[in-house]
Amino acid sequence: MTDQTAPATAAGRERYAARLMNTFGPPRLLLTRGEGAHVWDADGREYVDLLGGIAVNALGHGHPALVEAVSNQLATLGHVSNLFATGPQVELAERLVELLGAGPAKVFLANSGSEANEAAFKLTRRTGRTQVVVAEGSFHGRTMGALALTSKEAYRTPFEPLPGDVVFVPYGDVDALAAAVTDVTAAILLEPMQGEAGVLVPPEGYLAAARRIADEHGALLWLDEVQTGIGRTGRWFAHHSARHSGHSGTAAGPSPVVPDIVTVAKGLGGGFPIGACIGVGAAGDLLQPGNHGSTFGGNPVACAAALAVLATIEAEDLLEHVTVLGHKLRDGLAADPRVSEVRGEGLLIGLDLTEEAAADVATAALEAGYIVNNATPRRIRLAPPLVLTADDADAFLAAWPRILDRAMGATS
């Protein structure tokens, strides 16, 4: 498909290429402002953002509650070192433990998902064991430790040797997991749904089986909820879904699957950088003074942003909204015969196309005013703001057949 880059965007690309490292390739757009789930580029074109900064902008852009919280905190107390504590830091840790609903727990606050996973990786080493069993198709970050836990060869190979003793097994395969975990395993690391791989959903009861296997060998169960947590699936944490345990539960209630470690980031700050590693029970005491740290982790402004996100999700009943709107989107996307499968929960949605046309579909969607992600050659991922409106969802579903027509050809 042809590149119809407008003048201001083209100029922005040139400036970007001249001064920023080429770690991401040429930017698709130069964005200048946003409101709710809508963004505008340098040439004034409007788009509905169905990727949400890759599951980050939980409240969209410019939400008054987030703007007020950040502004007030920055005007009050912007940063202190971790030689001191602040109210927002303590309150956020308390709130995360409460929402997790797994009993006593302690929190390490970081700046990103990768950093949260780095903290968790170091925490597992404090067990006296080194092996971590991880799923194929996983993505846990780009820093050296997190990268060692990420299975994609293209990401890993240029930076090997990576921190070792990591074993990869097929995602969703209980027998393979049971065969890999031994009495020298420190932790099992899993995503409740694999986002980077195109929103892959494991079989029912998979996490419960992982919990059982971990217990049999004295290993920790570590759940990476960086992409799936904080309301993304219509629950505070994706592992709270009854499908993971075979037991009934509620949107806000705890799952019978109780992890030892949970990592979160992305949507937690609604666009403000923050991550968290939560250690449940004894795991919360494994890191001690001198074992880990962060200059900016627990920054009061970032914590105030996260508290505003959590309060707004609750006040605006966004868990229910996400659940209902997610069903609408999945049903509408699946109605086209050029879509062979739709997966996900809430507003984390992945779909498979009948041919390897995902890049063309993403381009056609952009030309139609919608931002989506081509996760793999056949897979599209959607992770819009939790505040996406029903009207925007309806408009996208109405445009969806035309987007596929342009990218894949009209159906017969």
Active site residues: 139, 224, 266
Angle at 236 between CA 279 and CA 214, to 5 degrees: 40
- Nearest Cα neighbor of 347 from 296, 309, 386 is 386
- Nearest Cα neighbor of 188 from 160, 215, 163 is 215
Residue 349 neighbours by CB under 8 Å, 6+ apart: 199, 326, 329, 330, 333, 342, 343, 381, 382, 383
Whole-angstrom distance, CA of residue 225 vs CA of residue 235 = 11
Handedness of CA 50, 304, 70, 111 (dihedral sign): negative
Number of H helices, E strands in the chain: 13, 15
What is the per-residue DSSP string for 218-255?
T-EEEEE-TTTTTTTTSSSSGGGSGGGTTS---SSSPP
Work out the widest C-alpha separation in the chain, in whole angstroms. 67
- Nearest Cα neighbor of 276 from 309, 303, 314 is 303
Whole-angstrom distance, CA of residue 329 vs CA of residue 394 = 8
Burial label, 352 (beta-carbon count in 10 A; 0-12, 13-18, 19+): middle
Whole-angstrom distance, CA of residue 147 vs CA of residue 132 = 13
What is the per-residue DSSP string for 80-105?
--TTS--HHHHHHHHHHHHHHTSSSE
Whether 230 and 267 have beta carbons less than 8 Å apart is answered as: yes
- Nearest Cα neighbor of 90 from 256, 375, 303 is 303
Q: Side chain identity at 336, as an amino acid letter?
A: D
- The first and second tokens of residue 195, run together, are 């986002």
Residue 229 neighbours by CB under 8 Å, 6+ apart: 236, 237, 238, 262, 264, 266, 267, 268
Whole-angstrom distance, CA of residue 83 vs CA of residue 250 = 39
